[in-house]
Amino acid sequence: MKNASESEPMTQSTMIDPFGRTIDYLRVSVTDRCDFRCVYCMAEDMTFLPKRDLLSLEELDRLCTVFIEKGVRRLRLTGGEPLVRKNIMHLVRQISRHLKSGALDELTLTSNGSQLERFAGELADCGVKRINVSIDTLDPDKFHAITRWGRLEKVMRGIEAAEEAGLKIKLNTVALKGFNEDEIPDMLRWAHGRGMDMTVIETMPMGEIDADRTDQYLPLSLLRAQLERQFTLKDIPFKTGGPARYVEVAETGGKLGFITPMTHNFCESCNRVRITCTGMLYMCLGQDDSADLRAALRASEGNELLAEAINNAIARKPKGHDFVIDRRTSRPSVSRHMSVTGG
């Protein structure tokens, strides 16, 4: 049997969901583990999956390859923190062959930045051209408070290493009421001053945490109104393949994205599905329906059962999610943490 890296040249098909949306974007969580414990994402005392439950790197490569054969053109590695997965660069190198063949348009990564100083150069060598770095404040003390375990100076060294490697960086910032809303204008100026775009994100009701999300939730419609007191924001049609809606900031010349799953969901144009590190396929971030691809992956050396399981899952992709944050709804909309599903 040939392994995934020795397979024949692929012919691509197209995945269409029940609502006519082309599914061409795959997000793959390679681990649920993270070296931070961000207060809106995880409880401090997290119980992570046993390592034996995780797909091997070879299985992840095989799974990604089948999705690429079925029409995925963009692939993002997520976590947890993807760069804490042991030997993660082996997987990146394997997947990068699809960039060289032209079957994959883009391989990207979402990171907290803590390991970028170590891996940025190798990521660039593998054909990764841009990454997202999640950072919610530029104040070292507040950064340590929000991440519980993180150190801002280490992330900054990682960003510098990524810049030196030629990686295009976009900052992802979760807007949190009473924590960073007053800091976002300065973060925007800082990011655009370094040639980095920025996206702000509403906090999402996923997983049990040690806080009340109604105390954290900041509608981005309110944040945008606040920003427009200082900046001229012009809506633009720019897209990266994800759910952000972008504006151009006249005063800085940079782009600012808004991801608004709560106030203005982006479901009508959803082109993506997510795989967990255990091989569960989630057709929607905000729904619990899933498909067990690990079972199909391990049931046969061929990929026919896996392809059939993927087809059946895409046929169940829902029209949209049901996220709710309010005082009457104390439990999260979905029980799994974001780190399990992947960003």
Binding positions are 27, 34, 38, 40-41, 76, 80, 110, 134, 170, 204, 267, 270, 272-274, 284
Q: Which residues of 213-252 form beta strands (DSSP E)?
A: 233-236, 245-249
Largest Cα separation within the chain, whole Å, is 63
Query: CB 132: neighbour CB atoms within 10 A?
Result: 23
CA dihedral 175, 181, 185, 188 (to 10 degrees): -20
Closest CA to 339 of 41, 38, 28: 41
Whole-angstrom distance, CA of residue 108 vs CA of residue 54:
21
Helix H or strand E segment including 339: helix 338-341
Helix intervals (H) in 37-174: 57-69, 88-95, 97-101, 116-125, 140-147, 152-164
CB 163 within 8 A of CB 194: yes
Joined tokens for residue 115: 């390991």
Binding-site residue positions for GTP: 27, 76, 110, 170, 272-274
Binding residues for [4Fe-4S] cluster: 34, 38, 41, 267, 270, 284
Q: How far is CA 174 from the centre of its chain?
A: 13
Report d(CA 46, CA 209) in Å as an integer: 9
Binding-site residue set for S-adenosyl-L-methionine: 40, 80, 134, 204
Q: In what order do the strands lie in the sheet with 130-134?
A: 233-236, 245-249, 255-259, 197-202, 168-175, 130-134, 106-111, 74-78, 25-29, 272-275, 280-282, 290-292
